[in-house]
Amino acid sequence: NQKLKGELQSFEADGDMLKSALINAQRMGENVIREANQKAEEIIHRANLRGDDIIRDANVKDSTWLRYK
């Protein structure tokens, strides 16, 4: 009977460790997703700014070209 109680406690401890490991893995996964989304937003923002610069430069060159045409 004592041996069974010891085994049960061991299984319960293993279950608690597994539960904790799964919770930690889930949190880490959520952090990775959040950081990836933030990085993606930063990249998109910079790309939009760069696109605006390119369009502005093209408009300036186009208006300059039209003046000399």
pLDDT reading at 68 higher than 70: no
Look at residues 34, 33, 52, 56 and name the one whose alpha carbon lies nearest to residue 44: 52
**What pLDDT does 60 receive?**
87
- Distance between CA atoms of residues 45 and 2, nearest Å: 64
Q: What is the pLDDT of residues 13-49, one digit of tens each?
A: 999 999 999 999 999 999 999 999 999 999 999 999 9
Q: At 66, is the pLDDT very low, low, confident or very high (cuts 50, 70, 90)?
A: low
- Distance between CA atoms of residues 22 and 20, nearest Å: 5
